[in-house]
């Protein structure tokens, strides 16, 4: 008789072999430990505004709680939230999305994760404009894809060069992920700078685009914000435009992100979310509706404050 030795220790999934806890979260943990030890620390890890969530948004959340809005909602966002998101896209980005072309999740991070889980198979490639936010590559890997870095050179303003993108595309390329303004470089694209990249994508119809616009309202020096699907409508049918309330409205802890894209993709992403978190917090959804439909002048005020801070640091350096 063959005796099989029992394995009582934890054995992690093979997919985690090259994946660890987010480097940004590690930096935050070190900073918190230093603060507890009484050391003065300025944390430059997580992209988190130090402003508080505006009062009118908090009030909306409190009203939702007292009104009993504490139940499950539609799994990828209530119809009311989707209507607010659709109006935001129309008002600020000149983009039109129906309710079934919009998804909401527990942060923009979950929206991007859902997209990769819904679309990538083993060996599929995702082009990342480097340097990039640390989680992008690991989200690709955990979805069984292959991240492919394209270095954005300093002499090009840390922006993706269209010729470099063209050379990197292969038959296995599934996505280009472009974050503008960029975390961590701050690089943002004008319409003229973004156009050559979109022209490359037009020549490669098998490549889809994730436009991570989460820093849309943290853009300085009067540079107009531009997003890909609005600049090149022919790419809208293969573009996922991702955004959220975390940065613009100082709502990082509320965990609401959203995206607009082709309904087939949005439906597939809903399947993924249905087996993980289901809907984002109902109370946070109420707060996000207030953020997107309420007074927007606070965005201008806070952007000006951030620009003053940036100028102080840049001048000092």
The domain limits of the chain are 55-302
- Residue 29 is encoded by which pair of tokens? 């943990």
Between residues 28 and 152, the one the model is more confident about: 152
**pLDDT tens-digit readout, 225-245:** 999 999 999 999 999 999 999
Instruction: Kindly give, in sequence order, each residue whose CB lies less than 8 Å from that of residue 292, ignoring residues fewer than 6 positions away.
Output: 84, 85, 87, 88, 245
Tokens representing 242?
């991702």
Q: Which of the 8 DSSP states describes residue 208?
A: E
In this prediction, residue 46 carries a pLDDT of 75
Quickly list H helices, 47-126: 55-66, 79-93, 108-119
> What is the pLDDT, as a whole number, of residue 25?
76
Confidence of residue 194 (pLDDT cuts 50, 70, 90): very high
Instruction: Give the lowest-confidence range in 21-25, 215-219, 235-239, 294-298.
Output: 21-25
* Phi, psi (degrees; rounded to nearest 5) at 179: -110, 115
CA separation for the pair 314, 183 (Å, rounded): 17
pLDDT value of residue 26: 80
Q: What is the pTM of this model?
A: 0.91
- Note the helical H segments in 120-260: 135-142, 162-168, 191-202, 228-231
Q: Which of 134, 112, 106 is nearest to 22 (CA)?
A: 134
- Classified by CATH at the fold level, domain 55-302 comes out as 3.40.640
Determine the pLDDT at residue 220: 93
What pLDDT score was predicted for residue 4?
A: 55
pLDDT band at 6 (very low <50, low <70, confident <90, very high): low
d(CA 84, CA 47): 24
Helix (H), strand (E) at residue 35: helix 23-36
Q: What would the pLDDT profile of 95-127 be if each residue is shown by its tens digit?
A: 999 999 999 999 999 999 999 999 999 999 999
The H-or-E segment that residue 86 falls in is helix 79-93
pLDDT for 115 equals 98
Residue from 1, 89, 45 nearest 183 by CA: 45
**In the chain, what is the straight-line distance between the N-terminal and C-terminal CA atoms, in Å?**
73
């Amino acid at each position: 008789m063959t005796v099989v030795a029992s394995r009582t220790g934890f054995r992690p999934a093979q997919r985690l072999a090259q994946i660890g806890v987010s480097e940004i979260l590690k930096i935050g943990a070190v900073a918190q430990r230093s603060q507890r030890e009484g050391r003065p620390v300025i944390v430059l890890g997580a992209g988190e505004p130090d402003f508080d969530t505006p009062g009118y948004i908090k009030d909306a959340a409190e009203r939702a709680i007292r009104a009993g809005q504490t139940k499950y909602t539609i799994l990828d966002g209530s119809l009311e939230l989707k209507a607010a998101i659709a109006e935001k896209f129309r008002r600020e980005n000149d983009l039109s999305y129906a309710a079934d072309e919009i998804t909401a999740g527990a942060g923009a991070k979950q929206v991007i994760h859902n997209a990769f889980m819904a679309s990538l198979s083993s060996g599929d490639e995702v082009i990342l404009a480097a340097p990039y936010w640390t989680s992008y590559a690991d989200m690709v890997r955990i979805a069984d894809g292959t991240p492919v870095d394209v270095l954005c050179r300093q002499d090009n303003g840390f922006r993706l060069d269209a010729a470099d993108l063209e050379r990197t595309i292969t038959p296995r390329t599934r996505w280009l992920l472009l974050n503008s303004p960029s975390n961590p470089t701050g690089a943002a694209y004008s319409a003229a700078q973004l156009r050559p990249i979109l022209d490359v994508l037009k020549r490669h119809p098998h490549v889809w685009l994730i436009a991570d616009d989460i820093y849309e309202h943290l853009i300085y020096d009067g540079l107009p914000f531009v997003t890909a699907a609005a600049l090149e409508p022919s790419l809208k049918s293969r573009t996922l435009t991702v955004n959220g309330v975390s940065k613009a409205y100082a709502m990082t802890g509320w965990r609401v992100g959203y995206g607009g894209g082709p309904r087939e993709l949005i439906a597939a992403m809903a399947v993924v979310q249905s087996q993980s978190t289901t809907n984002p917090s109902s109370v946070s959804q109420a707060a996000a509706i207030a953020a997107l439909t309420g007074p927007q002048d606070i965005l201008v005020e806070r952007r000006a404050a951030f620009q003053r801070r940036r100028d102080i640091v840049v001048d000092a350096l």
